[in-house]
Structure 1
Amino acid sequence: MARITIREFHDDDLDAVVRLWWEARTSSEQPVYSLAEVTASCREDHAVVAVRDERVVGAAVGRAAHAQGWIVFFGVSEESRSENVSGALLDAIERKMAPLGLSTLSVLASEGTRLDQLTENGFQLRNNLRYLERQMPVQRREIELLKDLGGRILPRHLWEGVAGMRREKALLEERLVAPLAQPDLADRYGVVPPRAVMLFGPPGTGKTTFAKAVASRLDWPFVEVFPSRLGDGAGSVAASLRSVFERIDELEHGVVFIDEVEEIASKRSDPPTPTQGVTNELLKIVADFRDREGMLLICATNFVRGLDAAFMRHGRFDYVLPIGLPDAEAREAIWRRYVPSEIAAGVDFPELVRRSEGLTPADIEYAARRASQDGLARALKGGRGGSESPAELGTADYLAALEVTRATVSDEQQESFLEDIETIARL
């Protein structure tokens, strides 16, 4: 089955939107707005559509009134509802309307409307009128600032997309997400919401993925600070770092992420190195950052032993959390993400999971893509191009690709990581 894509509404899509409106009309989900209002908003306001094989299978139509955004029509064909098209459409219409300076995005739903497509995507039910709304994660005044910082609003459901890794997710949910998302509940138990955390582990184990998932879970903007892009030389890096964080301080909420933080937080020495001033500046920034509410700093490193000792002291980072290689459940989810659905039933996933132990998510992705590429090359050489399913691609091809896939994490690195969990981790 072809992939569904989301794009802006074109005039040629109007008949398809009308069809979706009538499908809703003949079901229990009576549209609140008339067909005339919906078609007018398609042309004059804001609309996006979901398309598969050039056929529109979903649509979201919106209009704005002052700081309030309204979903005039939202519909997904019955056969596409199981593919999370709803979340993608709602996120797309929100992004399209965000520059208008909206504070909320609201929906009026008739009796009989399936609300799960809305409530599962951030909308909350308000009173007996079945009125739903969700807060816009970024207010108008912050949009340009976020753009200048290179930040963005991440899609919802990234948290659910991190399959397996139950222990790591449970730690992050309990230590980070819950206190920040429910500060009143945290206060009842005397829990101070975290301000800064350190993620450590071998390269390629998904530290960035977890940081993004936390931002998605909180529905906060995500801003990544790249050490390699700060300043033109060692002397200006500290000033650039301070300037970036002064601008970040203007955001109401945000998850700030610094990957490979060891580049600007390495052990200081005597005599001082040219980068020692940057390390000193970052220590001050972390201290200042801890005074802010509604913000979370996440740093990640592949070499936690190389960090300056001052970063590991209590009072700098609330938690020092290990992120290791994917467990069996996570490895299976990664394989299923890249194996074509047409052949998945015939693939021995337990064997792939067993044979990929010790590999990072990136390693598994490489093996899966290599097998697919080799299968495509064979089909082209054999003159079997076109729309046929990849029937000749199977378990043996993925196992062959694994044979030539080098593991990113060596046995020595894994042993060092396990030692660091015992001596450095702070859970």
Structure 2
Amino acid sequence: MNHRTQSHAHIRDFHDDDLDGIVRLWEHAHDTGEAPVYSLAEVIASCQADHAVVAVAGERILGAAVGRAAHAQGWIVFFTVFTDEAPAAEPERIGAALLDRLERRMAPLGLGKLSVLVADSGNGVSHLVGNGFEVRHQLRYLERPLPVQRRELDLLKEVGGRILPRHLWRNVAGMTKEKMLLEERLVTPLARPALASRYGVLPPRAVMLFGPPGTGKTTFAKAIASRLDWPFVELFPSRLADSPGGLPAALRQTFETVAELEHAVVFIDEVEEIASRRRGDPPSPTQGVTNELLKLLSEFRDLDGRLLICATNFVRALDAAFLRHGRFDYVVPIGLPDAEARRAIWGRYVPVGVIDGIDLDALVDASEGLTPADIEYAVRHAAQDALAGALRAAPVSTATGTIVLPETDDDSPVLLSTAHYLRALRSTRATVSKSAVRDFLEDIDALARL
């Protein structure tokens, strides 16, 4: 293009036929260090749905300004001008004209402010400052992509999936060794595949969690999904079995739907119910389901951005083919909480107002061999017992026969002590028997794969 053609650039509203030119502008800005803040998809969407103007010379688009309005404030989502072939003053003229045209287009919206985010290294700042924009210092731009896009919401709803809160990983009390193992083996390779690839590490596709009941396998599965910020899809074989085509067909349909999601953590608890040992002739009622699940697992492993987590209380009951190398990347034991984990669990459940007066060391020692669920039960039992004792000690109105409570709840002292918790622990039956612990340790030696 020559300078004469460039100098005759005129400004007009965006047309759908200009999309190719917008793409070239965006790519040019990206390649020359302008680093557009908004993605190409967002820019195109605003061109079509919001407000956009372009600078055109002949059939060539030389610049564009794209804006959108939100809550009485306008945002310029894209602004750039080709400068390579223009006379020195021409880009400034084109840029000023673009901004002026965009502002006039958006003025009827009643906006009080027009704002724009630009890259530090870009040349667009000079155009903007020269047209009345003021640089605001000590500001930082932050962004976070949403885990599920609009087009995936219906798919996620179809399989009963959901987005979990992001704090679940932090809320896993103690269990430092297990969390570090899962962080190294699962989370990092999946969340940062490029980094893993530099070390020759392949992102995992499937993991088996095993251990006694109540040790937190489901909690860990949810925490992994939360840590990855991926949708969590929990499959319930008992519910799928009620589907018209039966459990195998329902499993296949669910996995096919999950395959359409960009990311997903799929969780099957008590997987031994549908993947127990096949025993030849006559075939067991679950043999067809096990066969179908093995096929689905093989297909699932070909998909990126997905993780299957299965959990079982009885890993030795699983079909041998199910645990074979190449199906599950890791077989991870999740056992009873150690002393550090028990301390963290007690610290989470004991009320803040009384914890300083509680002997946590005594509670940690007394709760050895208990699951997190057992400890939570003891905490709640102690709290109820202490509250009942406080109510029994309160005076009773002779007129109404009811307990006389303080005017406000804050005026009532909390009579909750270490003794309450120790008494509750003495009446708490351990979920996991000593024989189950022995079996678990044997399963670690025989089946764990880390």
Using structure 2 for the length normalisation, give the TM-score. 0.66
| 1:378 pairs with 2:389 | yes
| 1:143 pairs with 2:140 | no
Correspondences of 1:322-341 after superposition (within 5 Å): 322-341=333-352
Aligned to 2:418: 395
**How far apart are residue 240 of structure 1 and its match?**
1.0
d(CA) in 2 for partners of 1:232 and 1:319? 31
Contact 1:150 1:223 in 2 (8 A): yes
Change (3 A) 1:390 1:296: farther
Which of 193, 199, 221 aligns to 1:183? It is 193
Aligned to 1:211: 221
| 1:260 pairs with 2:270 | yes
Per-residue CA distance 1:291-329 (angstroms, 9 max, x = gap): 000000000000000000001110110000000001111
Contact 2:243 2:250 in 1 (8 A): no
Contact 1:343 1:390 in 2 (8 A): no
**How far apart are residue 269 of structure 1 and its match?**
1.1
d(CA) in 2 for partners of 1:64 and 1:193? 45
**Partner amino acid, structure 1, of 2:261:** L
d(CA) in 1 for partners of 2:446 and 2:420? 41
d(CA) in 1 for partners of 2:74 and 2:251? 37
d(CA) in 2 for partners of 1:280 and 1:359? 37
**Partner amino acid, structure 2, of 1:368:** V
Partner of 2:309, secondary structure, is: strand
Count of aligned pairs: 311
**How far apart are residue 278 of structure 1 and its match?**
0.5
Runs of 4+ in 1 over 4 A off after TM superposition: 62-69
**How far apart are residue 157 of structure 1 and its match?**
2.0
Contact 1:234 1:274 in 2 (8 A): no
Per-residue CA distance 1:127-147 (angstroms, 9 max, x = gap): 985110000011001112212
| 1:404 pairs with 2:427 | yes
Partner of 2:144, secondary structure, is: strand
Partner of 1:296, secondary structure, is: strand
Partner of 2:142, secondary structure, is: strand
Which of 222, 226, 239 aligns to 1:229? It is 239
Using structure 1 for the length normalisation, give the TM-score. 0.69
Per-residue CA distance 1:70-115 (angstroms, 9 max, x = gap): xxxxxxxxxxxxxxxxxxxxxxxxxxxxxxxxxxxxx99xxxxxxx
Which of 366, 369, 390 aligns to 1:358? It is 369
Partner of 2:207, secondary structure, is: strand
Aligned to 1:249: 259
**How far apart are residue 66 of structure 1 and its match?**
12
d(CA) in 1 for partners of 2:323 and 2:412? 53
Correspondences of 1:8-407 after superposition (within 5 Å): 130-232=140-242, 236-270=246-280, 271-383=282-394, 385=405, 386-387=408-409, 388-407=411-430
Change (3 A) 1:150 1:314: same
Aligned to 1:419: 442
Change (3 A) 1:258 1:380: same
Range that drifts further, 356-365 or 387-396: 387-396
**Partner amino acid, structure 1, of 2:438:** E
Is there any run of 5+ residues in structure 1 with no aligned partner, and where?
1-61, 70-106, 109-126
d(CA) in 2 for partners of 1:266 and 1:66? 60
d(CA) in 1 for partners of 2:412 and 2:158? 44
Change (3 A) 1:64 1:138: farther
Aligned to 2:134: none
d(CA) in 2 for partners of 1:145 and 1:64? 34
Is there any run of 5+ residues in structure 2 with no aligned partner, and where?
1-69, 78-115, 118-136, 395-403
Change (3 A) 1:389 1:193: farther
Change (3 A) 1:223 1:68: farther
Contact 2:342 2:372 in 1 (8 A): yes
Higher CA-based Rg: 2
